[in-house]
């Protein structure tokens, strides 16, 4: 059974996926991606999209922006984002 994710949240997930592509070596973009995904997590939970919220939570567990360094998990997070 597929989840009925509101179009607004689908659009935000797509925006996050595009943002992540640019964020792998840009700390500010990485922080922006992390904030967007955190916000989306709450909104998905409120919309009772639990499976998708679990996927977002898994991404957030791997996403840990650090100033002055590249993301060592960018490839793994990128693959997870493609699944959306």
pLDDT value of position 39: 96
pTM tops 0.95, yes or no: no
Within 1-84, residue ranges assigned H as helices are 7-23, 27-46, 50-62, 74-82
Residue 32 pLDDT > 80: yes
Nearest CA among 68, 40, 69, 65 for reference residue 54: 40
pLDDT value of position 44: 96
Q: How large a percentage of the chain has pLDDT more than 90?
A: 46
Confidence of residue 37 (pLDDT cuts 50, 70, 90): very high
């Amino acid at each position: 059974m597929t989840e009925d994710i509101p179009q607004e949240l689908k659009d935000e997930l797509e925006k996050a996926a595009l943002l992540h592509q640019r964020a792998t070596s840009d700390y500010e973009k990485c922080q922006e991606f992390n904030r967007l995904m955190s916000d989306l997590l709450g909104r998905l939970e409120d919309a009772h999209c639990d499976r998708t919220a679990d996927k977002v939570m898994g991404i957030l567990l791997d996403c840990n922006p650090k100033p002055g360094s590249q993301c060592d998990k960018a490839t793994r997070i990128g693959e997870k984002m493609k699944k959306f």
